[in-house]
């Protein structure tokens, strides 16, 4: 039991440090972030960071690996779904867009891969999996009679992947991906006209977006900072599912004072290489 508890604590700490580093890498880039910065951000000593990640390079590698590890489960939800392949492709793209917008580890992994020349480790090769996935879905769409005559799935997949990640690059540069879903909607209006000229593109996109919303998983427990008097401020715990994590309030001297204390704002929760 004790060994198991220690393993859980170590896993939680590693994730906490990874997310703290991801926030800095996303904001400042690899060169602009030091282990000292990560120590300040996380409330952990540099020694503690080196204990879990032997170097800044290894920490960056872990974030990029986590970025790539997020996709197989997400893709699987749409490869096995029971609605038309073209709609599944559009729905998947919206789910991926939200991940790039909302998940700091996804965003940091993307930026780190773009800055790979500055990182002295071998990083995973991007986009190959996306090309295979999009090609497979377009092949299914062709079997369903949903592609225009003369559309080659592999060639179309290459263009779609380039367009999708190009959109992310522009959206990130211009408005921090805040309008990425609106931009993706407009991009699909253009692309679907070429892929399926007779379709009602707006209706298809609407159905796909509804499906992607339905398939969003429940939010996982969040690792949050726990400030306990007399203990290291970097200690973490998992907030129960469905609850909003909060920093612990200081002890009040009386019930009246305790009732008067305002709630501390919610704590931290958890886009480009593919």
- The pLDDT, as a whole number, for residue 217 is 65
Dihedral over alpha carbons 118, 119, 122, 123 (to 10 degrees): -90
Span 16-36, mean pLDDT? 96
Which range has the worst mean pLDDT, 172-181, 204-213, 246-255? 246-255
β-pair partners for 237: 224
Element (H, E) at 223: strand 223-225
Per-residue pLDDT for 208 more than 70? yes
Share of the chain above pLDDT 90, in %: 66
Residue 260 or 7, more confident: 7
Span 164-184, mean pLDDT? 94
Per-residue pLDDT for 237 more than 80? no
Residue 255 or 120, more confident: 120
β-pair partners for 246: 266
| Average predicted confidence (pLDDT) for the chain | 82
Task: Express each pLDDT in 64-76 by its tens digit.
Answer: 999 999 999 999 9
CA distances 75 to 81, 197, 205, Å, are 10, 26, 18
pTM of the predicted model, to two decimals?
0.74
Q: What CA–CA distance (Å, rounded) separates 175 from 180? A: 9
Q: What CA–CA distance (Å, rounded) separates 48 from 27? A: 23
């Amino acid at each position: 039991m004790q060994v198991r508890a220690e393993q859980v604590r170590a896993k939680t700490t590693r994730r906490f440090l990874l997310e703290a580093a991801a926030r800095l890498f996303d904001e400042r880039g690899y060169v602009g972030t030091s282990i000292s910065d990560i120590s300040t951000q996380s409330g952990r000593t540099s020694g503690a960071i080196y204990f879990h990640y032997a170097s800044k390079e290894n920490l960056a590698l872990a974030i990029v690996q986590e970025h790539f590890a997020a996709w197989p489960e997400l893709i699987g939800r749409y490869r096995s779904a029971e609605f038309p392949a073209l709609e599944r492709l559009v729905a998947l793209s919206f789910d991926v867009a939200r991940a790039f917008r909302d998940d700091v580890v996804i965003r940091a992994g993307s930026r780190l891969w773009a800055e790979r020349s500055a990182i002295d480790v071998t990083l995973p090769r991007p986009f190959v999996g996306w090309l295979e996935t999009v090609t497979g879905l377009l092949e299914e769409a062709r079997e369903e009679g949903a592609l225009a005559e003369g559309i080659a799935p592999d060639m179309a997949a290459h263009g779609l992947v380039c367009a999708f990640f190009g959109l992310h690059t522009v959206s990130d540069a211009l408005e921090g991906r805040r309008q990425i879903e609106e931009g993706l909607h407009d991009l699909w209006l253009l692309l679907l006209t070429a892929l399926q000229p007779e379709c009602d593109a707006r209706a298809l996109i609407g159905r796909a977006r509804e499906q992607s919303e339905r398939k969003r998983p429940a939010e996982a427990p969040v690792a949050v900072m726990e400030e306990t008097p007399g203990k290291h401020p970097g200690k973490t715990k998992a907030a129960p599912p469905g609850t909003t994590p909060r920093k612990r309030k200081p002890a009040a001297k009386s019930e009246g004072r305790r009732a008067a204390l305002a709630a501390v704002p919610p704590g931290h929760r958890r886009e480009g290489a593919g």
